[in-house]
Amino acid sequence: MFSDKVIFSIYYGEGNVIYGPNGLDSSEFNCTVRGIIRPHERTFESLCNWLMRGLRIDQETHTVSVQCVINRTTHALIWELMPLASNEDWLTYLQNVSYWQWPLVLLSVCTRIL
C-alpha cells in the first residue's frame, strides 16, 4: 500500500476555503510538505499530535481539526474537504488514496481552547 515514509501536502494557518470549477482551492492557506512515517500504522490521535508538534501548536491552549482532500465523483476531478475525526476515518482515507490515486493533502485548522 505505502512505503515507510509517505509525503503529504499540509495546508494550515489562516485562510478561507474557496471552491472553484475543480472544487477546493486551498491557495489562501500556508502549505508545507512533510513525510509521515508508516501512516497506516498511526492512530488519528497520533496524527493530530504529530501535526501539533510539526506546526508548533501549543496543546495546552489550542486544538487541531484535520480535513482531507477527496473526490466523490468518478467522472470528473472535483476536490472537496472531508473531516477526519477517528481512526476509522483516517484508515479509510488512506485506503481510498491508494485505490483512487488521490493526492495526499491535509488541511489542519487550529482553534483556541476557551
Sign of the dihedral defined by the CA atoms of residues 43, 46, 31, 3, in that order: negative
| Positions of the chain with pLDDT under 50 | none
The predicted pLDDT at position 1 comes to 55
- Helices and strands in the chain, H and E counts: 2, 7
Please name which of 47, 62, 61 lies closest in space to residue 111, comparing C-alpha atoms: 62
Domain count, the chain: 1
CATH code for position 107: 3.10.20.90
The residue behind cell 491552549 is 61
On whether the pTM is more than 0.85, the answer is yes
Structural domain span for residue 65: 5-112
The predicted pLDDT at position 2 comes to 63
The predicted pLDDT at position 44 comes to 98
CA 81 – CA 68 distance, rounded (Å): 6
CA 103 – CA 111 distance, rounded (Å): 25
